[in-house]
Amino acid sequence: MKRILYMTPLLGLAMSVSAWAGEAAITPAANAAAIELVQSHADYLWTLVAACLVFFMQAGFALVETGFTRAKNAVNILMKNLMDFSIGSLVFWAVGFGLMFGASASGWFGTSGFFLSDFSPEGDPWVLAFWMFQVVFCATAATIVSGAMAERTKFIGYIAYSIVLSALIYPVFGSWAWGSLFNGGGWLEGFGFIDFAGSTVVHSVGGWAALAGAIVLGPRMGKYAKDGTARAIPGHNIPLAALGVFILWLGWFGFNPGSTTVADKSIAMIFVNTNLAAATGAVFAMIVSWLKFGKPEISMSLNGALAGLVGITAGCANVSPTSSIIIGAIAGVLVVFSVLFFDKIKVDDPVGAVSVHGVCGAWGTLAAGIFNMGGTSASIIGVQLLGMGTCFAWTFSMAFVMFKLIDKTIGLRVSPEEEAEGLDFSEHGGNAYPDFSVSAYAQK
């Protein structure tokens, strides 16, 4: 209401000047056109500001992964995050955006819009704002995998993976669920699949690809004892990881509310739901770790916040604040037991990416159907299960084949000597902490 009151004198002044200049008289149609223009500009501004917040999440992911892993691999992790976005942007511009949002008669993938060909200087520039918002989502899906494959992946193999995920794996599934947001129309969204901001489309795609990569790579050296017991390999800088989580929390206020791509009042509830789920996830992960390990464990609590954020992403626009607390609480409990489960079956995931993004992304997608404010039904839940299962089948199978091909061709895993020394020195010829001697650094 305040915004309209403030705007009215400005519109009146502009129209008075216009009338004084001899142009068309003020009419209801002219008023409506002026208001529509202001709303359109606000939509552009909000969408691009939200894209900036989601882009800042790249810094959050980089810090979380760096902090949760050893010092000798910090440069490698930062390089992977940098290239995820840089190479991913170019690939998504050339191929991915067209496959995801291009015109689609079949509902399986887009066939237009490659190389941003939908844009022309004389036409509507909305495609540019929309592309910018979508490319940061693509980068998020790609960078999730980095954490699960940390400390033993060849850099060239990682680049190859990032290209394939950004060009094919993520966009094709995205077209099934979100194609109609632009020029397309996916078969899955036609059934009424609910995934407002991407618990499945972004996070489970990244999580299930991460699972495939971790399986093909195998665990880090020293992760498991001869009897199969998992050993903890502590990260070198928990303050960095904590800062990364807070940055991701902030970025999610662009990720979820920004998915409206409209500057209106609906974003208020999405903000609240997003925050409540994150807070509850952190609290419940802390409680479970306290009961399980005898102490409130920091890494589990940090991942609990991320689990709550991932869990609320699908239903942030269609569940109530109370439901968001329930969703976050379950995600916070789930992530702790999921991390322990994957450790037990010898899937070495240094940062818990599979649990946070894959498992909690699936939970959040199911929860969007269960807690739907418009009512739920067996049909709604069935569609949610269909989307979750389809995502796993498509992403895991494609990623597994991709990683196997990379492993058999250019190579996926570094040598034992390189892994022991650290990927910073062997892959990039330097390190993040030059005060350390090479011999001492290799042990960190």
CATH code assigned at 264? 1.10.3430.10
Q: What is the pLDDT of residue 210?
A: 98
- CA-CA-CA-CA torsion sign (398, 217, 406, 74): positive
| Residue 310: inside a domain | yes
Among residues 91, 119, 117, 97, the alpha carbon closest in space to that of 109 is found at 97
Dihedral sign, CA of 433, 436, 438, 440? Answer: negative
Amino acid making up residue 121: P
Say if 304 falls within a structural domain.
yes
pLDDT of residue 374: 94
pLDDT averages per 10-residue partition of the chain, 444 residues: 39 45 70 94 98 98 98 97 96 98 93 94 92 98 96 97 97 98 96 98 98 98 94 96 98 98 97 98 98 97 98 98 98 98 97 98 98 97 98 98 98 97 94 66 48
pLDDT for the residue numbered 373:
97
Angle, CA 363 vertex, CA 362 and CA 368 arms, to 5°? 100
Any domain includes 4: no
pLDDT at 121: 87
User: Residue 182 — left, alpha, or beta (φ > 0 → left; ψ -120 to 50 → alpha)?
Assistant: alpha
Q: What is the pLDDT of residue 17?
A: 42
In a domain, 104, yes or no: yes
Coil, helix or strand at residue 185: coil
Strand partners for 153: 413
pLDDT at 21: 44
Question: Which residue in the block uniquely carries the two structure tokens 């009042």?
Answer: 265
Please tell me the predicted confidence (pLDDT) of residue 110: 96
Half-sphere exposure (Cβ direction) of 354: Cα atoms closer than 13 Å? 26
Angle between helices 378-408 and 360-370 (to 10 degrees): 160
For position 124, what pLDDT does the model report? 85
Q: What is residue 122's predicted lDDT score, i.e. its pLDDT?
A: 85
Query: Is residue 32 domain-resident?
Result: no
Q: Is residue 275 domain-resident?
A: yes
Please check whether residue 442 lies inside any domain of the structure: no
- 294: in domain: yes
Angle at 393 between CA 390 and CA 397, to 5 degrees: 150
- pLDDT value for 113: 95
Structure tokens at 9: 């004198």
Domains held by the chain: number: 1
Query: Residue 123: its pLDDT value, please?
Result: 82
Instruction: Give residue 107's domain range.
Output: 40-421
